[in-house]
Each structure stands twice: as C-alpha cells, then as structure tokens.
A = this chain, B = another copy of it.
Amino acid sequence: MTGARYPLSGQSMPHLIPFVEQMLGLPFDPAAVRPESTPPVPPPCLNPALMAAIEHLLPSERRSTDPRARLAHSHGQLSIGEVDRVLYGGRLARVADVVVEPESEDEVRAIVETAIAHDACLVPYGGGTNVSGALLCPEEEGRTIVSIDMRRMRRVLSVDRANGCALVEAGITGADLEEALSALGYTCGHTPDSLEFSTLGGWIATNASGMKKNRYGNIEDIVVEATLVTPSGTVETRRPAARTSTGMQPLALLFGSEGNLGVITKALIAIHPKPEECRYGSLVFRSFADGVAFLKTVRAAGALPASIRLVNNREFRFGQALRPAAHGVHAWKSALQRKWLFGVLGFDLAALAACTIVMEGTRDEVAREERTLRRLARRFRAVWGGAENGRRGYSLTFAIAYLRDFFSQFGIVAESFETSAPWDRIEEVCSAAERALASECAARGVAGRPYLSYRVTQTYHAGVCIYFTMAFSGQGLADPGGVFHDIEQALRQVILDHGGSLSHHHGVGKIRQRFLPQVHSGAGLELIRAAKRAVDPGNIFGIGNGACGR
C-alpha cells in the first residue's frame, strides 16, 4: 500500500493475493488490469435564467459546470452502479448540471429561493461516501440539477462547555470536526468508517452509526437539535433541550431524510472531554457462536467498551492476509503465538472468530473495562489477543475501499452491506446469506467461488448490526455489475426473510427502495410522503430517495 495517509500505508502485504486466490478458487493474473475509462459526462441541462441568478448569488469560484465536478457530485461509493461505472465506463444517464458551494445558511436559503423561482432541482452533497445510490440523479429529471456542496460550511460556530454541546455547520467532515474539537480538548466521538470524508449533515440524513456508539451514541443520540432549510421555510427548534415532551418532533424526521426534505445546515451536537486513555484489545474465540454469546454477556454485564466487534472466521483470515511481511523477532513471535494458539490450546484455524475492542475513558475506567472483559472472556475459553491485533482490526476498516478499488481493476467485484438482526437470528441470517450467495452465483455462472465474510459491529438490547463483505470474480460474465446487483438484491430479500432489517446504517437511497413496502405499512409510507410534500410541495429536493422516489 503506497502513500503515508493510513496506518497500513508503506506496508507490503505478501499474504493477500494468495488468500484471494484461495478464497475465490481462481488464479490471480496481475497483468490483467482493466484500463480505466471514465465515460463521457452528458452535456449539462442549464436553465439560463437560473444560471444568471446563481451567478448573481455566488462568485465564480463557488459555482461550476465543469464535467469532472458535475460527475464527482453525482455518485457515492457504491461499488456497482457508482464507482465501477465512473471508473470503467458505464453509461452516465444523468448527472448534476451545476455545483454550487454556499458558505452560509443565508446563502443556502437564497439558493433554495432561486431554485423555487426558476424551477430547479436541488441535491445536498456532503462527503460523497453514500453507499445506497442516494446521490444518483433520477434519469427522468428534466429540470436543471444543482448539487449543493456543503463542505465550505465547516465551522464550529460555538462551544458550550458547561453543557457539553457544540453548534457546528453541517458541511464539516468527521476528520475536521474531530480536529477542531480536539484543539479545544473535546471529541464528538462519532466514528463511522467514512469519518475522513463524510459530513455531519450526511450523518443525520442517513441516520449514521459510529463504531464507538456504546460510549458516544449513534447520530440520533448525539444530535440535540438541527436546522433544515426547506422550500417552505426553516425547520428548527428554537429552544433546544436535552430532552423534551413538546409534541411530535420535526427533528425526528431529519434522521434518514436522505436529501428529500431540504438542506441540513447546522446541528447542535453533544461533545465530550477527550478521554484520558484509549486502549485497544482483542480476543480470539473458538467459534463465532462463542463470540456472539460473549457479546451478549458483555451487554448484560453493563460492561460495554466504546467499541467491540466480532469477526467471523473468514473475516479473521482476511485480516490475517493483510498482515505486513514479518521479519526477524516479529516473525519469530508470530510463529510462537500460532504454535501456542493452535498447538497448545487447540484452537481450530478454520473455526475461530475474533473480537476487536476499543476502550476509552479515564485510566481507571479503561483498566476496569479490560479486567471485566478478560474475566468474562474466560467463561468462553477465549484468549486475549493483545492491543496490536485490536488496533490492526480498526485500521483495516479505513483501507477496505482501497482494497475494493485495487481488486476491481482485476475484474473482482466486491461490496459491503449491512443489516440489523435480533440476537437469536444472527447465525440464521448469516448462513442464509452464505447459502443464497452460493446458489445465486452457481445459477448465474460465476467463475470460481464467491467470498462472503461478516462481522457483528454493534450490539443493542434487542439485536446487533451485521456487516457483510462480499466478492466474486466477474471473469466470463457479460455484465458483472448487473449480475452483482441482482445477487445483492436477492441476498437482501433473503436477509429480510430471515429476520434481518433493510439497513442498519447505510440507508435506503435508491438500491433498497423496492423493499420499503416490506418495512413500512402503506399508511406509514404515506405519512412520510405527506411530510415531504408539506415542506417541499414542488419537489425541489427531487433526488427521490427512499419513500420519496417516483
């Protein structure tokens, strides 16, 4: 891995290609690189009166009709249908026509007014890390599509130390937010895998979840109040409070609104003093089932660390395949550890599972958490795997999109997707997905074997989040992307049929729209659409995600 940006940068990973060959059951040909070829960006649909109004509103450096900018604002990070299409020349039916970059809530209001006056379509844009097709422009959209890039609105407007809150503009990325808060001695603690790029507004719009939610909460727990600029005016609470009973709450509808209602411009969020200590940990279990039972025990004991994740056997081995080349003492140590684990303790490499752990808090808290976790783990005959293995588990998270892009060059299609499931259906959901993937791939003539691994990334009282990683070779397929999409949809149905949810934190966007009638009753969907019509009767925010699709 080149560069210096990530912990894995500068490392050689000699075990990775052999692992992929073994998993997919196919030889890997490093010469068979697909040439990149970005497809032509269709010419913009520009309403002259609208453009004149925008030119009047914003200086030239904050508006663009450049094809690259337009394309960049018209996709997220979905492998198939977005990244694959942009890099390898799928057809781009419809992309944004103009990109604008407001610097204030007043400018956002002016953009919305302008869009109403000139019948434009507006699409809020945050970090572009969406993986549900939410940024895909509806093909049939005939109005000028204006992408509102929110990333200039990145200021921490005020910090309320006494009450542990900060008022922050919604275009700030997670990385910038943490940097700004850190300088003041604080953290927000929301840590989605996309932290580096995704924005506060995007977190709210997708109802995001962060890996350290046990300590800091998911986004709906973190946000005290938010402001939404809509065509019908500004939706906000004038007197935000820690907790209220003041009737039905408009704020509640911002979570998961996916750009359908308006632009989220700022939010009042909970912040916390930076923890005195952050320590990693890891545990190796004899089986995934042991690991699940351990997670449940940890919850019941009220001993939840900031993050605790359980990877299944295959995902564990994937992590091992990403180990850098070991030399000298490290190689010796590693060999000894293996001998002890497999030889002495009798762990089975083909069955074990592992937990990675992040503990945060005061030195005392962290020490107590680790003691408790080690004590509980002994009941399940687990072995403490040390801090370094824990840390590695989390750093892989940030590399996964790059690995996907690397293998994509060689025609290996890969994607991650997630669900939530009740505790007692975790293994059912996972094994049903595994079986469905095998049969779908066989039926569609996929070469070699498909790969599916999974991890439990969050636990709740009534269930967990399961995060899947899926891959197979597109070799010999006429339309690998199409096959992948169909298989992903088939798996989603299987997951739903076995008690999983439509999504834990990725959202609905466009790729999961057709499943919504299985999730909400008709009257429930109509309630959502009525809320949309109330604030945006002209469908100015016409991105058409979730229940607001056409």
Which A residues are closer than 8 A to B by beta carbons?
A: 160, 162-165, 206-209, 218, 224, 230, 232-239, 241-250, 252-253, 255-258, 260, 270, 302, 361, 365, 420-424, 458, 460-465, 496, 499-508, 512, 516, 518-531, 533-535, 545-547
Contact = CB atoms under 8 A, between A and B. Distances in A.
B463 A241 contact: yes
A142 B504 CA distance: 47
Given A247-B546, A504-B243, A530-B530, A462 B234 contact: no
The 5 closest A-B pairs by CB, nearest first: A530-B534, A233-B523, A247-B546, A252-B252, A242-B463
A221 to B, nearest CB: 9
A237 B520 contact: yes
Given A241-B420, A252-B253, A519 B163 contact: no
Residue among A235, A503, A507 with the highest chain B CB neighbour number at 10 A:
A235
A243 B424 CA distance: 15
Nearest to A458: B243
Query: Within the oligomer, what is the number of copies of this chain?
Result: 2
Nearest to A362: B301
Contacts of A547: 247-248
Given A421-B241, A460-B243, A253 B502 contact: no
Contacts of A535: 523, 526-527, 530
30 contacts: A163-B423, A209-B245, A232-B523, A233-B521, A234-B521, A235-B521, A236-B521, A238-B518, A238-B521, A243-B420, A243-B460, A244-B502, A246-B508, A246-B516, A246-B519, A246-B520, A247-B507, A247-B528, A247-B546, A247-B547, A248-B255, A248-B528, A249-B253, A250-B523, A302-B361, A527-B531, A530-B530, A530-B531, A530-B535, A531-B531
Contacts of A421: 241
A504 B534 contact: no
A104 to B, nearest CB: 18
B527 A462 contact: no
Given A207-B245, A245-B505, 14 more contacts: A163-B422, A163-B424, A164-B461, A218-B243, A238-B519, A242-B461, A243-B458, A245-B507, A248-B260, A248-B547, A270-B462, A526-B534, A529-B534, A530-B530
Given A163-B462, A530-B530, A530-B531, A248 B302 contact: no
Residue among A224, A239, A464 with the highest chain B CB neighbour number at 10 A:
A239
Contacts of A249: 252-253, 255-256
Contacts of A508: 245-247
A242 B464 contact: yes
A522 B424 contact: no
Given A270-B461, A361-B302, A462-B163, A247 B524 contact: no
A302 B252 CA distance: 27
A244 B302 CA distance: 22
Nearest to A258: B247
A247 B206 CA distance: 7
A420 B241 CA distance: 7
Contacts of A461: 164, 242, 270
A233 to B, nearest CB: 3
Contacts of A420: 241-244
Given A242-B462, A521-B233, A365 B163 contact: no
B256 A248 contact: yes
A458 B243 CA distance: 10
A73 to B, nearest CB: 22
A247 B531 CA distance: 12
Residue among A209, A218, A258, A502 with the highest chain B CB neighbour number at 10 A:
A502
Residue among A209, A270, A463, A504 with the highest chain B CB neighbour number at 10 A:
A463
A246 B242 contact: no
A507 B243 CA distance: 12
A545 B245 CA distance: 13
A460 B242 contact: yes
Nearest to A219: B245
Nearest to A218: B243
A539 to B, nearest CB: 15
Nearest to A227: B521
A230 B529 CA distance: 16
B248 A546 contact: yes
Contacts of A545: 247
A241 B465 CA distance: 10
A503 B529 CA distance: 29
Residue among A238, A258, A500, A547 with the highest chain B CB neighbour number at 10 A:
A238
Contacts of A528: 247-248, 250
Contact of A230 (B164, B503, B505, B523): B523
